[in-house]
Amino acid sequence: MANTALTRPARQVTARPAARSRSRRRGQGAAYVFLSPWIVGATVLTVGPMLASLYLSFTDYDLFDSPRWVGLDNYVRMFTEDDRYWHAVTATLEYVVVSVPLKLGLALAVAMLLNRGRRGTGLYRSAFYAPSLLGASVSVALVWRAMYGDGGVAGRVLGVFGIDVGSMVDQPRYALLTVIALAVWQFGAPMVIFLAGLKQVPKELYEAAALDGAGPVRRFVAVTLPMLSPVLLFNLVLETIHAFQSFTSAFIISSGRGGPSDSTLLYTLYLYQRGFTDFRMGYASAMAWVLLVVVGLITVLLFRGANRWVFYLGEGRR
């Protein structure tokens, strides 16, 4: 466009800006037309229901009769009168605090092993990635429940080592561990991202560090970690948000009840029970909004803290 403008005669100079903005608008018009399916979907299927849910959280709605305004009653009841709510919060926090570091740690360790580039790396990479494709499914959770239940494989394997643990899924002490194990088993997705990040670390840095006499541990701490820190932040934020939203594994492993004595009562599972089993949609909506706010806050905190330890190549350390 610029080239043709230069070669045009002078009398068209004044018309140029108008012509340019008109065609720019036409270009934007086409862009909006292509965007419209997504915009419609986002408004009707995401934002709309979110706003409706916000309204419902201030009502008493049982899915059949019309909603009845109760103001902050749901929120007050949630925080002061509901014991199971705190069971759910405790179980979810336990789950997130244990599963996310384990998952990321395992993902990083395996990524570093695969980065050596030995034979069969491609095969191992696919093998480790496969669980994260299947893991969120109902069938895998059912198999998991059978594995860790009465007479399951896990019990028998532990029995070989002399540990008699019985049915892990039916005991409050171990039930959440089985759910955590299912989450950690799906480390393939963050692993692949770490692998990509590792491949981008310039080899000269490692060579320079080795020349300066740095051992493998020092090289990891001083070169790998800082260079990986943006990827680490990305994985950390995504996995934390994902962990707070976990539902299927807990639902299937505890047969929908939240596990022996609320031990696997994750927040979303309790929300589901309140909404669909107890017909209290207003309360469930209030719970959903509290979760949104809390997860949002945690994400903001993660990003704030990131300023201190995340290092982007090409910038100076802050």
Partner 1 sequence: MTSRTARRGARILAGVVSVALAGVLSGCGSSSGSGGTQTVRFVWWGNQDRADATTKAVALFEKKNPGIRVQTEFSGYAAYVQKLTTQVAGGAAPDLIQLDRPTFGEYQHRHVLADLSRYTGSTLRVDKIPANLLAGGKADGKQYAVPAGQTTQMLVYDKDLFDKAGVRVPENGWTWEQFAKDMQKVGAATGVAGTTDFGWAVDWFDSWLHGRGKQLYTADGKLGFTAADLEQFWNTTAALRTKKGVSAPEATTKMDGSTQNSALVLKQAASEMNYDSNLTSYLSSYKGTLKTAPLPGDDAAHSGMAALPPVYFGVAQHSAHKDAAVKLLDFLVNDPEAGAVLGATRGVPANSEVRAQVCGAATGDDKAVCDYEQRVQQRMGPADTWQWPSGSSAVKTDFQQVYDDVIFGRTSVSAGAERVVENAQQALEQ
List of residues contacting partner 1 (CB under 8 A): 23, 26-27, 30, 33-34, 60, 62-65, 83-84, 150, 166-167, 170-172, 255-258, 260-262, 273, 276-280
- Residue whose token pair is 């720019």: 24
DSSP secondary structure of 28-54: HHHHHHHHHHHHHHIIIIIIHHHHHHH
Helix (H, G, I), strand (E, B) or coil at 148: helix
DSSP string, 43-94: IIIIIHHHHHHHHHTTEE--SSSPPEE-TTHHHHHHHHT-HHHHHHHHHHHH
Measured from the CB atom, is 64 or 161 closer to partner 1? 64
Minimum CB–partner distance for residue 167 and partner 1 (Å)? 5
Strand partners, 59: 69
What are the Cα distances from residue 127, in Å, to 118, 121, 307? 15, 10, 35
Provide, rounded to whole angstroms, the least separation between the CB of residue 58 and partner 1: 16
Residue placing its CB nearer to partner 1 in the complex, 207 or 278? 278
Tokens describing residue 30: 């086409």
- Residue nearer to partner 1 on the CB measure, 202 or 256: 256
Backbone CA torsion sign across 140, 141, 143, 144? positive
Tell me whether residue 231 or residue 265 sits nearer to partner 1 (CB atom).
265
Closest to 183 in 3D by CA, of 109, 111, 256, 100: 100
Stated as kind and residue range, the H or E segment containing 159 is helix 153-160
**Please, what is the minimum distance in Å from the beta carbon of residue 84 to partner 1?**
7
Give me the least distance between CB of 287 and partner 1, in Å please: 16
For partner 1, the closer CB: 235 or 285: 285
Write down the least CB distance from residue 294 to partner 1, Å: 24
Length of the chain: 318
Q: Which is nearer to partner 1, 29 or 105 (CB)?
A: 29
Q: In angstroms, what is the minimal distance from the CB of 57 to partner 1? A: 16
Between 30 and 113, name the residue whose CB sits nearer to partner 1. 30
Pair of tokens at residue 266:
């994750």
Q: Residue 139: name the closest of 253, 308, 4, 269 by CA.
A: 253
What whole-number distance in Å separates Cα of residue 132 and Cα of residue 155? 24
Measured from the CB atom, the residue of 276 and 303 that comes closer to partner 1 is 276
151 CA to centre of own chain: 33
**Minimum distance between the CB of residue 118 and partner 1, rounded to whole angstroms?**
44
CB of 6 to partner 1, least distance (A): 17
